[in-house]
Amino acid sequence: MERSVAIVSCEQTTMADLRRLVSYMGPEEKLAGRLALQDADLTAVGILVDAIRGDSPELQEIQALRAIVRILGTLAGDATGDTVPDVSSSGSLLVQGIRSEVVTGAVVDLLQRRLRSFPPEEQPWLLLDGLRAMRLLLVLPESAKTAQLAGQRNKAAWWVEED
């Protein structure tokens, strides 16, 4: 019983953090940085995937895409995701979870199959944030490149093929 209460409490806290991150009032100072560099809780990954797939009533698809952009963009030095990223760090466990095949696939599915199901006035904004998110999801951090050259495994780049 105590464990299930703790899990629900963790999910509620994570949802509150994600909602503050994409608030129209602007994100709480240093929240994106904390999530990008220190967060070891993967609860947000499941919440983001559910939201991108349209299965979360508390977080809309556009908010989930913006959360990904803010977290990964902060790691790259631009929380807006507007500049071409130069990522030197693989980031926190949360960031490595966000850069997973599941999240990337959910974003691709949203852009490829579900975009037309949204009202026409929302489609350009979803496309913009979706493409920003895709660019940041597919950037290979320098730490992952270094690890790969040294023959070590790094979970920051699931899509890199081995020779």
The DSSP line for 84-125 is: PP-------HHHHHHTSHHHHHHHHHIIIIIGGGS-TTTHHH
Instruction: State pLDDT tens for residues 40-53.
Output: 778 889 999 999 99
Higher pLDDT: 3 or 158? It is 158
Instruction: State pLDDT tens for residues 98-114.
Output: 888 899 999 999 999 99
Name the one residue in this structure whose structure tokens are 């790094």.
Answer: 154
* Interatomic CA distance for residues 163 and 128, integer angstroms: 34
The terminus-to-terminus CA distance of the chain in angstroms comes to 48
pTM of the model: 0.80
Classified as helix, coil or strand, 71 is helix
Specify the DSSP class assigned to residue 57.
S
Instruction: State pLDDT tens for residues 18-39.
Output: 898 888 777 667 888 888 888 7
